[in-house]
């Protein structure tokens, strides 16, 4: 495998909703550098976050927009697109399609992902969800007239 194919295997596992596939690409000493929830920067913390996202957006797809590299680091800018089917960030499911931008900052080897820093526009995502929830609660209302 190459570092590029390691990144592709990671993305493929994410997009298929295969948590075991994601784990199989992670190094034994994997570190999740930016844990959003409670917990240590570990594989378990990453799996927990992926499960939360997957429960809220079961059809989520991470679409790479641009990939760059610097040394052992791979930067994958993406747009994630999915339907809001479960509660997320305190907002009940709306059924609406959402789009969120982010960056996977991966330290890779030819065999695995050793470290991951995930940057996501959760503020923008929450605004989308709240606008959709308001529109759902008020038939005929739009984001422009609220």
H/E segment holding residue 101: strand 97-108
User: What is the topology classification, in CATH, of domain 3-141?
Assistant: Nuclear Transport Factor 2; Chain: A, (3.10.450)
Tell me the chain's radius of gyration from C-alpha atoms: 16
- Each domain of the chain, given as residue ranges in start order, spans 3-141
Give DSSP secondary structure letters for 11-42. Answer: HHHHHTT-HHHHHHHEEEEEEESS--SSS-SS
- What residues contact 5, with CB distance under 8 A and at least 6 apart? none
- Torsion over CA of 85, 78, 115 and 109, rounded to 10 degrees? 130
Check pLDDT > 60 for residue 140.
no
**pTM of the full predicted structure?**
0.84
**Three-state SS at 117:** strand
pLDDT digits (tens, 9 = 90+) for 50-95: 999 999 999 999 999 999 999 989 999 999 999 999 999 889 999 9
């Amino acid at each position: 495998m190459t570092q590029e194919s390691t990144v592709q295997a990671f993305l493929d596992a994410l997009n298929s909703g295969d948590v075991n596939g994601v784990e199989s690409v992670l190094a034994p000493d994997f570190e999740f550098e930016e844990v959003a929830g409670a917990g240590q920067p570990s594989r378990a913390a990453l799996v927990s976050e992926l499960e939360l996202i997957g429960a809220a957006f079961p059809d989520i797809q991470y679409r790479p927009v641009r990939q760059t590299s610097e040394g052992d680091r791979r930067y994958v800018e993406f747009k994630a697109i999915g339907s809001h089917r479960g509660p997320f960030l305190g907002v009940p499911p709306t059924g609406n399609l959402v789009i969120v931008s982010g960056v996977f900052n991966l330290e890779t080897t030819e065999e695995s992902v050793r470290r991951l820093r995930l940057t996501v526009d959760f503020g923008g995502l929450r605004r989308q969800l709240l606008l959709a929830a308001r529109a759902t609660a008020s038939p005929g209302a739009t984001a422009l007239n609220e």
